[in-house]
Amino acid sequence: MGFPGNIFLKSGILHLASFCVLLSVPLAHSEEFRLESAGLRYGFSARAHTSGFKQSDVFVNWNLPWSWDLFSRWHLQWRLDCSAGWIGGNGDNAGVFASGPSLLVHRDHIPLSLEFGSGPALLTRDTFGSKDFGTPAQFISYGGLDLNLWRHTRLGYRYQHMSNAHLDGHNPGLNMHVFQVSWRF
């Protein structure tokens, strides 16, 4: 059974994206596809029934060629997030590979930004002891907060949900607190 907040998170991402597209198309501008940042993430389970799960990965973010300037100082930037790493729990380990779009929301002269994203993921195994995720094909959705410390350094937190979106009849899901550090180019 998936986390009920996942529906809210996916719905919120979809509504935010729709709002941005419909209300700001005239304000959109095209930029180049470019490497934005690279870093490391580490996460641990947010729920008691999956308390032994941990995940770590390396990631890169590319700015996609679509951004919007809203309300004079607010900006929206689409990015592509790609990661490869390790996930473990209940004595078993697996590789995890993920890629998908994210939307970054920030304001001029404020070092904090919001990030929302969702995309497919692939596990090299779907059973970890007694915990069965149903299928190696999963989807990861998240919402988070990033803090730009210096010109090239960013710290971040995200609340992340992983599930198979009912591709299999068994869909327990996994919620995690994930912390990250990255180098901005």
pTM higher than 0.85: no
- pLDDT tens for 72-99 read 899 999 999 999 999 999 899 999 999 9
Tokens 């009849």 found at:
169
- List pLDDT tens digits, range 106-141: 999 999 999 999 999 999 999 999 899 999 999 999
Distance CA 180, CA 153 (A): 11
Across 90-103, b (16+ Cβ under 10 Å) vs e yields eeeebebebbbbbb
The terminus-to-terminus CA distance of the chain in angstroms comes to 40
Tokens of 14: 């979809």
- Of 129, 142, 134, nearest to 165 (Cα)? 134
pLDDT one-digit tens code per residue, 3-49: 445 554 555 555 555 544 444 444 445 568 899 999 999 999 998 87
Question: What are the residue boundaries of the structural domains of the chain, listed by start?
Answer: 4-184
What is 4-184's CATH number, 2.40.160.20, 3.40.50.360, 3.40.228.10, 2.60.120.330? 2.40.160.20
